[in-house]
Amino acid sequence: MNILLVEDDKKLGELIQYKLKKQLYQVEWAQEADAALDFIERFSFDIYILDWMIPQKTGIELCKEIRMKKNRTPILMLTARDSITDRVQGLNAGADDYLVKPFAFEELIARLNALYRRKETNWEADTKSFGDTLVIDHSTYEVIRNGVPVALSRREFQLLALMSNHPRQILSREQLMDRVWGLDAEITLNAVDATIKLLRKKLDDPFPEKIIQNVRGLGYRLDVKGGEVCSSEQENS
């Protein structure tokens, strides 16, 4: 799980980052709104954790700006404000969940995991398009490459769908195995390599532009530009 933490309190920010990394999460930490927006522009995250009171913009203002850009990444708000009015304000701004300080770290982990599961489930009802290069329909499991339909197995589709959620971001073989097969699955990392090889044969070999890259010693990435999401509700409207 890749997390962006936006927290101006240095001591608390360091503590949250340290504990999340101990859980093997990847965490970037920004202490002000502009730095957070810079991270959001340059990298892909699974969840944003936004403190309510940060320099330059409030967490509420930052949340609204993120949503205005049609960014659907789940947002967890952190705040010392615990009134119903404050919670409603945060949720109405586009936050997905709300955690009041002080909080137990175990509850933070539980809420992050719940948001992540919800995010992954929601992707199944979406079509994601990378211009004319690649179209992935999560509701029908259809894939179109340069206008040509490509038939994929279930595992191949799951790998491609996961990589499309993080375009141009390197995902390690361990991350791919964890998210597609599960860490408890009785397979080796060679299964990831074999499935990637089949994906490249179907998605890359017939076309001049190669989009699935092997980054030696680090993992794999889907090298495509852009990415627009169209939900089923939008398609039917």
**pLDDT means per 10 residues in the chain (237 residues)?**
92 93 89 92 88 88 89 88 76 86 91 78 65 83 91 88 87 84 69 93 93 92 71 41
Largest CA distance in the chain: 58
Considering only CA atoms, which of 151, 163, 135, 162 is closest in space to residue 223?
163
CA distance 79 to 148: 49
CA distance 231 to 102: 37
CA distance 65 to 126: 23
CA distance 204 to 210: 5
pLDDT of res. 234: 41
What are the φ and ψ backbone dihedral angles of 199, each rounded to 5 degrees? -60, -45
pLDDT of res. 231: 46
CA distance 232 to 127: 8
Taking the CA atoms of 83, 88, 90 and 95 in sequence, report the sign of the dihedral they define.
Answer: positive
The amino acid at residue 87 is R
Bridge partners, residue 128, by sequence: 136, 229
Q: Are strands 219-222 and 212-215 parallel, antiparallel or unpaired?
A: antiparallel
DSSP, collapsed to helix, strand or coil, labels residue 124 as helix
- Alpha helices per DSSP H over the chain: 10-22, 33-42, 59-68, 84-92, 105-122, 154-164, 173-180, 189-203, 232-236
Bridge partners, residue 91, by sequence: none
The amino acid at residue 62 is L
pLDDT of res. 1: 81
Give residues with Cβ within 8 angstroms of 136, minimum separation 6: 127, 128, 129, 142, 143, 160, 161, 164
pLDDT of res. 178: 76
pLDDT of res. 183: 52
Considering only CA atoms, which of 116, 128, 135 is closest in space to residue 165?
128
pLDDT of res. 232: 43
- Percent helix, strand and coil across the chain, each to the nearest 5: 45, 20, 35
What angle, 0 to 180 degrees and rounded to 10, lies between the N-to-C axes of helices 59-68 and 33-42? 30
CA distance 182 to 193: 15
